[in-house]
């Protein structure tokens, strides 16, 4: 059998994320009960690792399909880009830029303007009323 056919058949017969997670939870429950022998525990552990890897793989696939909100257009509609198109490097760059802006505003509030109300709006005589 060709590799492509084998991969296609295994993907179609694989459980969904919810099914794999349910099986993983049942494996963990059996192991936590402590009622099974060592050999059976090792076999269950191996099954659990297999289901855990499958869950991570399915989560990664789902994350790749998520659309990222990149902004809002003039009409107020959200502008999105597919997760794949955005690329991880641009996400890292965006996070660093955001971090720099936050650091700058927290460390030097005067750099972005006055941090409080202007005194010209206050009574100039120095009284409260």
Q: Give per-residue pLDDT as tens, 31-82.
A: 999 999 999 999 999 999 999 999 999 999 888 777 676 777 888 888 877 7
Tell me which of 1.25.10, 1.10.1390, 1.10.287, 2.40.50 is the CATH number of domain 12-65: 1.10.287
Task: Look at the chain and count its residues.
Answer: 129
**Which tokens is 21 given?**
């997670």
Residue 42's nearest CA partner among 29, 24, 27, 20 is: 27
C-alpha distances in Å from residue 115, one per residue of 38, 105, 112: 66, 10, 8
On whether the CB atoms of residues 79 and 70 are closer than 8 A, the answer is yes
Check: pTM over 0.85? Answer yes or no. Answer: no
Query: Which residue spans of the chain are classified as CATH 1.10.287?
Result: 12-65
Q: Tell me the C-alpha distance between 46 and 33, whole Å.
A: 17
pLDDT-derived band at 125, boundaries 50, 70, 90: low
Q: Tell me the C-alpha distance between 82 and 66, whole Å.
A: 6
């Amino acid at each position: 059998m060709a590799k492509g056919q084998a991969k296609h058949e295994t993907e179609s017969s694989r459980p969904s994320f919810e099914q794999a997670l349910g099986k993983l939870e049942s494996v963990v429950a059996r192991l936590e009960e402590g009622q099974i022998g060592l050999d059976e525990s090792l076999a269950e552990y191996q099954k659990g690792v297999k289901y855990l890897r499958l869950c991570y793989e399915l989560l990664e696939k789902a994350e790749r399909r998520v659309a990222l909100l990149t902004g809002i257009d003039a009409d107020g509609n959200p502008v999105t880009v597919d997760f794949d198109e955005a690329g991880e490097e641009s996400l890292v760059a965006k996070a660093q830029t955001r971090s720099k802006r936050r650091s700058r505003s927290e460390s030097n509030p005067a750099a972005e303007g006055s941090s409080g109300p202007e005194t010209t709006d206050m009574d100039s005589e120095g009284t409260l009323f």
